């Protein structure tokens, strides 16, 4: 980020502010496959906490961490992924998976190449 700031001629803090604000940017190394579980009100009421628990147990990591092999990164909990009518849902590398159960969420992860 320092190199980007220098290249575009702006203070480094401004680059860090942008990179840390948007959830699509990571400020530390992360696994190759990004997994986001929506935890906003609709998903929460439909069991998102069970999805998060199942994914964490299956991958052996907590939100904000990557698997030791570098394959998966479980992003911090997302506020809303705009699929409220099909809650609970998660996004895996920008592909939506909706109407999840803990079992179907694990099946999605197991299907990732």
8-19 pLDDT, tens digit per residue, is 999 999 998 988
DSSP 35-86: EEEB-SHHHHHTTHHHHHHHHHHHHT--TTEE-TTSSEEEPSPBS--S-GGG
At 67-91, the pLDDT tens digits run 999 999 999 767 788 899 999 999 9
pLDDT at residue 22, as a whole number: 77
Domains of the chain: 1-28 (no CATH), 31-110 (3.40.30.10)
- 16 within 8 A of 1, measured Cβ to Cβ: yes
Whether the predicted pLDDT of 34 surpasses 80: yes
d(CA 66, CA 27): 13
The mean pLDDT value of the chain amounts to 92
Query: Using 50, 70 and 90 to split pLDDT, how confident is the model at 110?
Result: very high
pLDDT of 88: 96
């Amino acid at each position: 980020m320092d190199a980007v700031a220098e290249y575009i001629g702006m203070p480094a803090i401004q680059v860090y502010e942008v990179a840390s604000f948007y959830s699509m940017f990571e400020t530390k190394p992360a696994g190759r496959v990004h997994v986001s579980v929506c935890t906003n009100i609709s998903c929460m009421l439909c069991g998102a906490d069970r999805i998060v628990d199942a994914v964490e147990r299956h991958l052996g990591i907590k939100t904000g961490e990557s698997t030791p092999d570098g394959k998966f990164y479980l992003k911090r909990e997302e506020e809303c992924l705009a699929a409220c009518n099909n809650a609970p849902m998660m996004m895996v590398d920008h592909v939506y998976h909706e109407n999840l159960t803990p079992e179907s969420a694990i099946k999605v992860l197991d299907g990732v190449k």
